[in-house]
Structure 1
Amino acid sequence: MENLLSPNSSLSVSSAISLPDSSPIEKLLTEYRFLKSPLESSTYKSSRITGLTVEIGEVAIFRDRGFLFYFTDSMERFREILAALSVAWDLRTDLGIQAPFSCFEVVSDLFRNEKSASV
């Protein structure tokens, strides 16, 4: 199995951000304000969404406060999940919602909406 950080991985696509020696997935993570963990080179922590981390290896693993809530090997799905989480976080902040943020609920709503749209 290939590592998703390699430029030739299944998650590789071009991105508008120009970072030297970065894979397309690293550029996308930078675009969504993720920082590489100094302790684990394949782990990225969100600088915006508290507790959200992404681990990149053979698949992309999404964790909320350490708990796995989604994984994928599709760049399209990876991009959709990052976008949905970002929009939900911004909306929550704009509305002044004080309830805890659940990445799992955001992704569940995304798939629920996709399912109802396809029916």
Structure 2
Amino acid sequence: MTVGTQFTRSGATERYEVFHTDCPAREMVGHVTSRWGIWVLISLQTNDLRFFELRESIRGVSEKMLSQTLRGLVEDGLIWRRVEPTTPPQVTYGLTEFGRDVGEPLADLFGRITSRLSAELADLQP
């Protein structure tokens, strides 16, 4: 077993060395697990959203950081972007099939954390 080899693409002989800085999988994991990437993927689990709807659903994110996060996730193929030719343009984002696969465990993780916190808060109340 080679140290650092974590994943092999199906049908390909190329191996991803996720602990190396030039690994494409490492970059994608960085986009997904970035401060705002997780929240974008969770927010898009139920509906496609326009840019400002996403910004409103993810409190605390600036327009600049949301734009950067969305750009990375679109480039990775996790979300799609559709621009309606209106004035002003309406930009809508949604999850690709790959994005749903990646986002589902994140939403599950969020659910587990909030369930645990809710139970702990209930135990603290008299």
TM-score by length of 2: 0.28
Q: Quick check: which one's helix share is greater?
A: 2
TM-score by length of 1: 0.29
